[in-house]
Chains A and B, each alone.
Chain A
Amino acid sequence: MITIDHISKWYGKFQVLADCSTGIERGEVVVVCGPSGSGKSTLIKCVNGLEPVQEGAIRVNDVAVTDAGTNMARLRSQIGMVFQHFELYPHMSVLNNICLAQEKVLNRSREEARAKARSLLQRIDLSDQADKYPGQLSGGQQQRVAIARALAMDPIAMLFDEPTSALDPEMINEVLDVMVELATEGMTMMVVTHEMGFARKVADRVIFMDEGRIVEDAPTEEFFNTPRSDRAQAFLAKILQH
């Protein structure tokens, strides 16, 4: 469903992504990990065209993200994205956060959008917070709202960029639970995270990045049991200590 074909990207002279290729099938869950600065966020932002690439091509459902003529708004509306720092709209209530793109992009009626928002809030157990503002919620609650906001668009795939790394430890699980549920329901997911427990539980494949390259791309079991590169081994050793 998502094909990443030999992409390279530079910031000025600095190469962030070097000849990265991989693919994600429908219903597959792929975890991306790697040391800080290795290009994970950049890679995931290229998938929905938030960042342009200089070489290579990305296709989502056979639509070329990297083509100039592509209707990016339409394409992005089909791919949900969740950020490290939630990025909820601070001046809108939780309900309106979930309604905005439904109304403005999908042209749903106000009632339709609200009904959808309410059913999603119920699902993430936040029905009673609908009229609050993001700043009045805990980090974990905000991130669940952000997931609901993305799901409201009925996406064909979801991208997560370190969704739990800005959270206090006691809130990590409430967010991971929602993500695990999504994964088991068959959502196509690309998840940048260092939560190896999550990876073991639901990931089909793990991608390990270092210095802008995809160093390992292996089925989950294989990645944890027999990582092929020294880099990945060192990284795993460090992460699994905690």
Chain B
Amino acid sequence: MVALAAWVIAFAVGSVVGVARTVPNRLVRTLATTYVELFRNIPLLVQMFLWYFVLPELMPVEVGRWMKRDMPNPEFSSAVLCLGFYTASRVAEQVRAGIESLSIGLSHAGYASGLTTSQVYRYVLLPISYRLIVPPMTSEFLTIFKNSSLALTIGLLELTAQSQQISEYTFNSFEAYTAATVIYVVIALSTTVLMHLLESRLRIPGFISKDER
């Protein structure tokens, strides 16, 4: 659950930031780069604590109090936001790399025919880039699952944490962790298979990317 919700944020924010890193406007580019460097380089565990413990303190008093006392399931929200925004920085890098692997001539062709910048991205650059980055995105998606186990540090009982608890209660630690492992493996394998299907469905006939030329 944490991983899926966080992925939605990661994909949406990551796409926007990734695109922003390639646009002509320098200010937008700098902001996006700063975002990526910030979120990618602070250890995830530290970010987890920042979101959970520090953020409510930084908010206006009212909001902070609401976050600490009345917000339903604060561990969950913090974990989702933290993982989401962290993974977004990694997704952004993939999106940027995908766009930059396309030749500049392709965008020139778009602009030359009168398309606006957003049209060039929407109809030309992004559809091609997203196809190219399906494989690295698969691994980001799997990583977000693995990283979601870090949410246990702020008290969210996610798969690993739950098995830890089960093992403490029942002393069947072997079974509990085996079950957890099996679940992780099943998720990983099915994701990989699904993404492969997606990849072959989206394959462009006769297309080779710039790098392969």
Residues of chain A touching chain B, judged by Cβ–Cβ distance below 8 Å, are 45, 48, 50, 73-81, 83-85, 87-91, 100-101, 104-106, 132-137, 146, 149-150, 153
Contact = CB atoms under 8 A, between A and B. Distances in A.
Contacts of B106: 87, 89
A88 B207 CA distance: 11
A89 B108 CA distance: 11
B112 A136 contact: no
A73 B110 CA distance: 10
B206 A85 contact: no
A87 B112 CA distance: 11
What are the 5 tightest A-B residue pairs by CB atom distance, in nearest-first order?
A: A135-B206, A77-B114, A101-B113, A87-B109, A105-B114
Nearest to A71: B114
B112 A81 contact: yes
A50 B124 CA distance: 17
Given A87-B106, A91-B127, A135 B113 contact: no
A150 B108 CA distance: 13
Given A135-B205, A135-B206, A50 B115 contact: no
B204 interface: yes
B171 interface: no
B112 A133 contact: no
A48 B113 CA distance: 10
A45 B207 contact: no
Interface string B64-98: 00000000000000000000000000000000000
B105 interface: yes
Given A89-B106, A89-B109, A90-B128, A105 B115 contact: yes
Contacts of B204: 90-91, 133, 135
Contacts of B128: 89-91
B119 to A, nearest CB: 6
Interface centre among A88, A89, A90, A150 (most CB of B within 10 A): A90
Contacts of A76: 111-114
Nearest to A146: B109
Given A83-B108, A90-B204, A73 B131 contact: no
State the majority secondary structure of interface residues on B.
Answer: helix
B208 interface: yes
13 contacts: A76-B113, A80-B113, A84-B105, A85-B103, A88-B109, A89-B109, A101-B115, A105-B113, A105-B119, A106-B114, A133-B204, A135-B205, A135-B207
A63 to B, nearest CB: 13
Interface residues of B, number: 23
Contacts of A132: 205-206
Interface in B182-210: 204-208
A48 B205 contact: no
Contacts of A84: 105
B112 A79 contact: yes
B116 interface: yes
Contacts of B208: 135
Given A45-B108, A50-B108, A149 B206 contact: no
Contacts of B53: none
Interface centre among B116, B205, B208 (most CB of A within 10 A): B205
Contact of A101 (B114, B127, B205, B207): B114
Interface centre among B113, B128, B131 (most CB of A within 10 A): B113
Nearest to A135: B206
Contacts of B105: 83-85, 87
Contacts of A77: 113-114
Contact of A74 (B114, B123, B206): B114
A136 B207 CA distance: 8
B112 to A, nearest CB: 4
Interface in B109-152: 109-116, 119, 123-124, 127-128, 131
A238 to B, nearest CB: 27
Contacts of A45: 108
Contacts of A88: 109
Contacts of B124: 89
